[in-house]
Amino acid sequence: MVDTATLLAAYDEQMRMPSSIVPAGMTYEHDGPVLRIVGGHVGRIRAPRDTGVTGDELDRLIARQRDYFRARGEGVEWKVRAHDLPTDLPQRLVAAGFLPQRPSTVLIGVAAEVAADPVLPDGVRLRQVDEPADLRRIADLQTAVFGTDCSWVADDLAARVTADPGHITILVAEADGRVVCSALAVYDAGTDFAALLGGATLAAWQGRGLYRAMIAARAGEAVARGYRLLHVDASPASAPVLRRCGFHEITTSTHYEWLPPS
């Protein structure tokens, strides 16, 4: 029996803030209990489980983040987990003009239990990439899969690679020279966790085991690097696959998004 309370405690202790490796072109700025991430596609706010402020003080903290990015003409998202404190944080974010996006399921897996040789359909090969042309192909794939402009993904991945190539693994699955699936893993130094991100598969290739193969390959890499646990913020489509691979749900996460007037 897996102790999900222990997994949640490890997550809260180690995975609330990004690693000390700052992607090229971005800055990390502290404002009281929160970390403001500046220079990306949108601004991001990360916080401990308990911000330690309530009432009017919390409202002022939220307003400062919104107004900071308003002055830059940029949007900002504040990531909130279901067990965060204070419990009225979501309502106060909404009152300040932030809108909740679709929740994700936060799942944790034990890397050694998930790792396996990836099984691929005939004619598909798995390849690790970091060249700009391949990163643009991944951005194009995500645009096709998610139905929204993901061209910014190429620059985001390039910034991560430039900051520290060893901090990230970027994988593509190719068939007939076309990228049909992509995924990445980020390794947080000083933690037990590798974070699995960016999974996307073309509709015609879904249900054929590509995402599962990406999970197995990244888990194997995490084990080789000495990481014990895997973390995923999973979509409704991905969560069932991850559960079948041995991942355990510990909470949910929701991005509260504020966008400047158009």
- Render pLDDT for 190-234 as a digit per residue (tens, 0 to 9): 899 999 999 999 999 999 999 999 999 999 999 999 999 999 999
Q: In terms of C-beta density within 10 A (0-12 exposed, 13-18 middle, 19 or more buried), how is residue 126 classed?
A: middle
Summary mean pLDDT of the chain: 95
What's the first-to-final CA gap in the chain, in angstroms?
A: 51
Q: How does DSSP classify residue 164?
A: -
Helix axes 152-163, 132-146, angle to 10 degrees: 140
- Render pLDDT for 50-64 as a digit per residue (tens, 0 to 9): 999 999 999 999 999
Which pLDDT belongs to residue 142? 97
Q: pTM for the complete prediction? A: 0.93
Q: What are the DSSP calls for 182-202, one per residue?
A: EEEEEE-TTSSEEEEEEEEE-
CB distance 109 to 245 below 8 Å: yes
Q: In terms of C-beta density within 10 A (0-12 exposed, 13-18 middle, 19 or more buried), how is residue 102 classed?
A: exposed
- Render pLDDT for 90-110 as a digit per residue (tens, 0 to 9): 999 999 999 999 999 999 999
Whether the predicted pLDDT of 1 surpasses 70: no
Which pLDDT belongs to residue 242? 96
Give the closest residue to 242 by CA, choosing from 224, 222, 218: 218
- Render pLDDT for 180-191 as a digit per residue (tens, 0 to 9): 999 999 998 889
Give the closest residue to 46 by CA, choosing from 57, 37, 55: 37
